[in-house]
Structure 1
Amino acid sequence: MDRTKPQTPLGVTELAARLGARIRTARVRRRLRKEDLALKAGLSRNAIDAVEAGKLTTGLGTYLQALWAMGLAEGLDLIADPGLDRDGLALELDGKTMRVRVGTKADNDF
């Protein structure tokens, strides 16, 4: 059995790096030291370093705490908002009930 870890798509890595950079920019604009943000968010300085580096191994809760501590958590309500999901809404309004069924051959051998 192959137990190799699947590769993370490059797009996901880039998204995390951009989010980390945005969090760093927000911290710097607020003139907060990493230690200050860590204290306010209830995190360690190492956690803030990981967030700003966009490390994928850092938990989502850590990112959320850092954003909350800077007053930026409100914008998160727009992420995956069902009312803004155009593709999902289009499929829902399509009117067709789509079920995924696995095709089976009829066994006519009586």
Structure 2
Amino acid sequence: MSATSSHLEGAPAEAIERLGARIRVARLRRKLRQQDLAKKIGRTRATVIAIERGSPKTEIGASVSALWVLGLLQELDLVADPGLDRDGQALSFSVSDKRVRLRQQLNNKF
């Protein structure tokens, strides 16, 4: 599969579907119709339907706008937070990956 393909499978697709389902639940709890949310985010009702279905072709900006309208944008700050990236932190402090410089002979010729 190419990196530009919009077809996702497995864990990434499931994550997008979960996000869409959560946006739908938040919308319903706020008693907003799909067309109401669409108007607030400046998109079409079809886009809201695609967000809620977890379509990987939907622009991430549309989902972020929906989260903002629903008052859930602050939770997005936790996504890929460098302070919570244990693997990344471990790799940045790994001694084995440090650059090693060969010692050069000092040249005392002036």
Is the pair's TM-score, using the shorter chain for normalization, greater than 0.5? yes
Q: 2:8, 2:56 within 8 Å by CA — same for their partners in 1? A: no
1:97 shift after superposition: 2.9
From the superposition, tell whether residues 47 and 7 of structure 1 become closer, same or farther in structure 2 (CA, over 3 Å): closer
Q: Within the alignment, does 1:33 sit opposite 2:33 as a pair?
A: yes
SS of the aligned residue for 1:18 comes to helix
Structure 1 residue 41 displacement after superposition: 1.2
Matched residues in 2 for 1:79 and 1:17: separation?
16
Unaligned runs of 5+ in 2: 100-110
C-alpha deviation, 1:7, in angstroms: 5.7
- Report sequence identity in percent: 47
CA RMSD in angstroms comes to 1.8
Question: Where does residue 70 of structure 1 map in the other structure?
Answer: 70
2:54 aligns to what?
54
- Are residue 94 (structure 1) and residue 94 (structure 2) matched? yes
How many angstroms does 1:9 deviate by? 2.6
Q: Compute the displacement of 1:14 (Å).
A: 1.1
Shift in Å, 1:49: 0.4
User: What SS class does the counterpart of residue 77 from structure 1 fall into?
Assistant: helix
Q: Answer whether contact 2:6 2:56 (CA < 8 A) is retained.
A: no
**Aligned-partner SS, 2:95:** coil
Partner of 2:84: 84
Cα deviation code 1:8-62 (max 9, x no counterpart)? 2311111111111000000000010111111111111111000001000101111
* Shift in Å, 1:91: 1.1
TM-score computed with the length of structure 2 as normaliser: 0.79
- 2: CA distance, partners of 1:52 / 1:36: 14
Report the AA paired with residue 86 of structure 2: R
Corresponding letter in the other structure for 2:44 = S
- Structure 1 consecutive aligned stretches of length 4 or more whose deviation exceeds 4 Å: none
| Count of residue correspondences | 95
Structure with greater Cα Rg: 2
